[in-house]
Amino acid sequence: MKILLLASLFLMPSLATGATVLIGSGTNNGNFNEDTSATDSRSFGNTAGWTNLGAAQTMQATRLNLNSDGSRNAVISEAANRIFGNATGHTIQSADIFSVSYQWRDAFNWNDASDQVQVILFTTDDNTIFGNQNILVNDLSGTSTQNSTYELVDHDAIYTATASSAGKQLFLQFRGLDGSGNANGFGRVDNFLLEVSQSNPIPEPAIGILGLFGLMLLLRRKR
């Protein structure tokens, strides 16, 4: 009975929040800070969690300059040779709901009026990150609203998984997307967050009753 009481109390917060971080601070290097080198320019090969899907892993991935919070950040490009890929390790379940947020800013040659950051969730035919892609969703940042300044993208529920992708590995990529007719722009991304939640969590009243039951047991034991 004591174990049941403890279990009911500890389950309450995790069931109530319901979102799991797949990419974030300390998970798949969402803040790009796992590489603690003092060297400014670092390659994909130096960068845990992230794989260049466009060209060799010797390509530059992160820098320390133009940062938002004093930390290392991702150098995005509109060229096809620099595409940030992440094998999240998540096996998709039907009714999974995915949300993304990140900070980004325009940099060298970025066309503020038309260029955007593009985030894609995808599966592949062989469940590896370099397999043939099946795109689940293509989510765009919108254009830059503040010149040379970080801004926040916070897009909830960009994709809800269907039965057809259940059981497959989830992959993510991001890059600069040219909208100006000249794919020569650079920008920066930091504090990338990808979360998954379920559309059918345990209903709140059920959690409340479970918690109340635990509290009653606790009060009885103290008498």
DSSP E strands, the chain: 20-23, 42-43, 51-52, 60-63, 73-77, 84-91, 96-106, 116-124, 133-140, 151-160, 169-177, 186-198
Applying CB under 5 A, which of residues 96, 139, 178, 195 lies at the interface with Ca ion? Answer: 178
Q: Torsions phi, psi of 214, nearest 5?
A: -65, -40
Binder to Ca ion among 25, 143, 160, 180 (CB under 5 A)? 180
* Piece of 33-41, 54-62, 89-97, 158-166 that binds Ca ion (CB under 5 A): 33-41
Nearest-approach distance from CB 10 to Ca ion, in angstroms: 32
- Contact between 185 and Ca ion by CB under 5 A: the answer reads yes
Q: Per-residue x/- mask for Ca ion, residues 56 to 95, rule CB under 5 A?
A: ---------------xx-----------------------
Beta bridge partners of 101: 154, 193
Should residue 150 be labelled a site residue for Ca ion when binding is judged by CB under 5 A?
no
**Among the residue ranges 7-15, 24-32, 149-157, 213-221, the one whose residues contact Ca ion (CB under 5 A):** 24-32
Q: Among residues 47, 76, 115, 186, which is the contact residue for Ca ion, using CB under 5 A?
A: 115
User: Is residue 102 helix, strand or coil?
Assistant: strand
Read off the DSSP letter of residue 6. H
Q: Which of 44, 51, 87, 106: binder of Ca ion (CB under 5 A)?
A: 106
Q: Identify whether the C-beta of residue 185 lies closer than 8 Å to the C-beta of residue 77.
A: yes
Residue 144 C-beta: closest distance to Ca ion, Å: 6
Q: What is the DSSP letter of 132?
A: P
Q: Which residue is nearest to Ca ion (CB)?
A: 71
- C-alpha span between 68 and 104 (Å, rounded): 9
| Site size toward Ca ion, by CB under 5 A | 15
SS3 call for 54: coil
Interface with Ca ion (CB under 5 A)? 31-33, 71-72, 106, 111-112, 115, 147, 178, 180, 182, 185, 190
